[in-house]
């Protein structure tokens, strides 16, 4: 049986200040992250001891400097939030890494909570800027001038699953899933062929098939081997090939379907190899073809469209879910059903999904605007529509405008998103992390995904390890927490 697909996303936001000649992205990020004060204890370190971004999943260690900031810089750049998320400065972008969740529906709530958290801090930080200056944040992945920033997904995998198998099956899957995961982009960049409009924000930036890098020569499959869990048992697949999505429905499918395909690999349910002859070329061919008719050369011969390849994965998923011993969650069943319907609709006419899939929602909005105003794809206003679709301000962001007007499908309720801002998921170790911050915030010394350490009085720092992503759930630790009014009692009770 596949291991539970515990998952999360890391979103880097685009940041700019208008009417400020001295705009510096890094100091603006520090200002932004520190402006967030809602139930966030102030001085907690991010525990870099546990990190090793230079380990490669193919089994070796890459040479390089590991980043460890000094204590003051660490505190200034890192916030761990009561919902279990990490909100921090990553190079020149603010980044929100959502807490670990067990299913795509919760993922939507916690990723959307991230948008709200960044917007709350944007408002606070903006008030500290000189009059006239305006701090703006965008949940997209490109400035359309050749600079890209990421949306990374993480999925818990069984260490016994060979990385070679993951690469074989996920390569054609990732190249083709953009037909329902893309956020849409006007034009092309990074020396890709010119086009009016494409499915993905990111496809133009992928230059190689498999590698450890994320910032240069980006690979379709990233090999970072940093499980943030028991490394004997698990790996964490770090997926860098996706777009930041605004649409809840798109986020739901992106993470939901990907988790299912990964579980199928672990269960040996991918019975047919769909390897592409040239994935790096194919990812751009798919992205640059909104008609979805482009045919991709398969390694075993023949040419298939992205829809055909996805339909083959879907057919295998139906068989996987129908196994007599299959234990399929309600969310996974729902994802499989909607995935199939989306593929049928894409085959008939992609515009049927103009309420569901980001690249189609955006395309229809832009084309309607162009038609009415007599504009073409090169018009600055069209480029502005593309950018402003991702604007985090509720009154200015065009995605939010469409949402208010009921023009897009929702997956979760507003109340679920509000709750996810302040409270952790209840069925993973994020519950323990979030609750410790809420209950014992002033005595929490440092945090990482798989540990939390306490600095109680003059005692030596005590680190609690959380190597099992599903341990530390509410069912597992609420009694313990309730029986421990102070951090010191918690540490005592943990020892007992």
Nearer to other proteins, 33 or 402 (CB): 402
Q: Which residues pair with 16 in a beta bridge?
A: 136
Nearer to other proteins, 109 or 306 (CB): 109
Helix boundaries (H) for 322-423: 330-348, 358-373, 380-388, 398-404, 414-422
Q: In angstroms, give the least distance from the CB of 342 to other proteins.
A: 7
Nearer to other proteins, 228 or 338 (CB): 338
d(CA 144, CA 139): 14
- Report the length, in residues, of the chain: 496
Q: Which residues pair with 219 in a beta bridge?
A: 208
Q: In angstroms, give the least distance from the CB of 309 to other proteins.
A: 21
Which residues participate in catalysis according to the annotation?
90
Residue partners of 323: CB distance under 8 A and separation at least 6: 269
CB 392 within 8 A of CB 115: yes
d(CA 23, CA 151): 24
Q: In angstroms, give the least distance from the CB of 240 to other proteins.
A: 7
CA 369, 370, 371, 373 torsion: positive or negative?
Answer: positive
Residue partners of 120: CB distance under 8 A and separation at least 6: 36, 38
DSSP character string of 265-277: HHTT---S---BS
Nearer to other proteins, 51 or 168 (CB): 51
Nearer to other proteins, 240 or 296 (CB): 240
Nearer to other proteins, 325 or 371 (CB): 371
CB 116 within 8 A of CB 397: no
Q: In angstroms, give the least distance from the CB of 214 to other proteins.
A: 4
CB 213 within 8 A of CB 238: no
Cα 41-44-47 angle, rounded to 5 deg: 145
């Amino acid at each position: 049986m596949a291991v539970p697909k515990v998952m999360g996303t890391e979103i880097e936001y685009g940041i700019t200040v208008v009417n400020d000649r001295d705009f510096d992205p890094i100091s603006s990020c520090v200002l932004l992250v520190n402006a967030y004060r809602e139930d966030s204890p102030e001085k907690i370190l991010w525990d870099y001891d546990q990190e090793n971004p230079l380990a490669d999943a193919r089994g070796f260690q890459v040479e390089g400097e590991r980043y460890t900031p000094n204590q003051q810089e660490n505190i200034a750049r890192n916030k761990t939030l009561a919902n279990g998320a990490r909100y921090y400065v990553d190079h020149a972008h603010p980044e929100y890494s959502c807490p670990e969740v067990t299913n795509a529906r919760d993922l939507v709530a916690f990723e959307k909570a991230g948008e709200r958290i960044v917007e709350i801090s944007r408002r606070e930080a903006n008030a500290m800027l000189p009059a006239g200056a305006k701090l703006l944040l965008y949940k997209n992945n490109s400035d359309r001038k050749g600079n890209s920033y990421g949306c990374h997904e993480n999925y818990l995998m069984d260490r016994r699953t060979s990385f070679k198998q993951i690469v074989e099956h996920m390569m054609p899957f990732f190249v083709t899933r953009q037909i329902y995961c893309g956020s849409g982009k006007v034009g092309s960049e990074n020396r890709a062929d010119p086009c009016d409009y494409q499915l993905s924000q990111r496809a133009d930036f992928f230059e190689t098939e498999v590698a450890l890098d994320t910032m240069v020569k980006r690979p379709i499959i990233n090999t970072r081997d940093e499980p943030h869990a028991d490394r004997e048992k698990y790996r964490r697949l770090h997926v860098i090939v996706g777009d930041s999505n605004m649409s809840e429905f798109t986020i739901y499918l992106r993470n939901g379907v990907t988790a299912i395909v990964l579980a199928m690999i672990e269960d040996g349910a991918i019975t047919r190899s769909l390897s592409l002859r040239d994935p790096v070329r194919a990812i751009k061919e798919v992205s640059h073809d909104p008609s979805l008719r482009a045919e991709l050369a398969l390694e075993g011969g023949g040419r298939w469209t992205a829809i055909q390849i996805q339909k083959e994965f879907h057919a295998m998923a139906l068989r996987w879910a129908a196994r007599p011993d299959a234990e399929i969650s309600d969310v996974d069943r729902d994802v499989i059903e909607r995935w199939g319907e989306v593929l049928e609709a894409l085959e008939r006419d992609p515009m049927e999904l103009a309420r569901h899939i980001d690249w189609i929602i955006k395309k229809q909005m832009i084309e309607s605007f162009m038609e009415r105003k007599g504009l073409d794809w090169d018009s600055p206003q069209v480029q502005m529509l593309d950018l402003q679709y991702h604007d985090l301000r509720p009154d200015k962001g065009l995605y939010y405008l469409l949402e208010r007007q009921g023009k897009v499908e929702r997956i979760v309720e507003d109340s679920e998103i509000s709750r996810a801002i302040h409270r952790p998921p209840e069925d993973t170790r994020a519950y323990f992390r979030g609750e410790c911050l809420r209950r014992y915030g002033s005595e929490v010394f440092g945090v990482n995904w798989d540990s939390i350490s306490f600095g109680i009085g003059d005692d030596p720092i005590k680190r609690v390890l959380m190597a099992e992503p599903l341990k530390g759930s509410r069912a597992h630790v609420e009694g313990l927490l309730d029986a421990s009014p102070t951090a010191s009692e918690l540490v005592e009770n943990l020892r007992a």
